[in-house]
Structure 1
């Protein structure tokens, strides 16, 4: 599904400048890390005035939330393998591959930001978290349509099972997020849903 940018502030965004800022933010992030990245450095990399960035985003965290949503949308596509477990495995394999790149420290950094800012936490849920969950919801509904899963499957708890494990491993780094993990999580979520225990 397509991630829409956050509502513009002030004048409408110029599409080319908007894309340039997002690209520049990711370039600076890869080079310097989230903590060292500043709006000034992003503006210089993008070739725009820093006032332009502040007109479109309230600060660094909302800007990088859009960078994250954009990268996630580019990296992860909804699969159709013919089975729920196969679909979920494919979705998580793509998701974990993206998370294993520069996005992993970015997601950790944004998790810290949302704990300190309720407004940003709400935006993060709307722009990033809910849209990732919507992908799993779509796969569950697809599986219900194929009569693989019960019609009363608790879709939201399936989402919690899938993404709860992902975020736990992401934050504490106690176990890998790889193809094996994708298969294991998909298998567990499928078994629980088929048995209607979720």
Structure 2
């Protein structure tokens, strides 16, 4: 099993700043609808022998980044659940608006590489709060805020003081893996040149 910090480091290297993602987010599907669909993931998607590389290719026509780390059961399950959300639009019914789009695989990877390292995906299926965290995270990185919520209102979603414990742990991990990069940038600027380091949203 990979170290959680290493997986978070992979996510940090590929994800744009969260603040930028918030600023581009548009109204998406209802949170309840996405959370309910997440809870209905077929057992075959959670099978230990499932190939994320093949599943991603079949569903999205491309390989998600999580496929390279799918020997870790948490990553494999997290990515598989994200891929289920995409596949379910054909199997069950489409979300309105659809989840398909340029950031769909990034959303899959947000579950596999950002959330799964700190909260086992099986907990998402058993616990309402964990499931909502996962659904919110998926929507954000797919470019959406849940229907009826204001993207400018950080308190209504993942940011702010009321962050769920899993998200707080993920952010602490991201801060740890981004700190060396921030320190190197400060050293290159030299003393007295100002400019704050990267702020983790």
TM-score for both structures, normalised by structure 2: 0.31
| Structure with a larger share of its residues in helix | 1
TM-score for both structures, normalised by structure 1: 0.31
Q: Taking CA–CA contacts closer than 8 Å with sequence separation of 6 or more, which of the two structures ends up with the larger relative contact order?
A: 2
Radius of gyration: which is bigger? 1
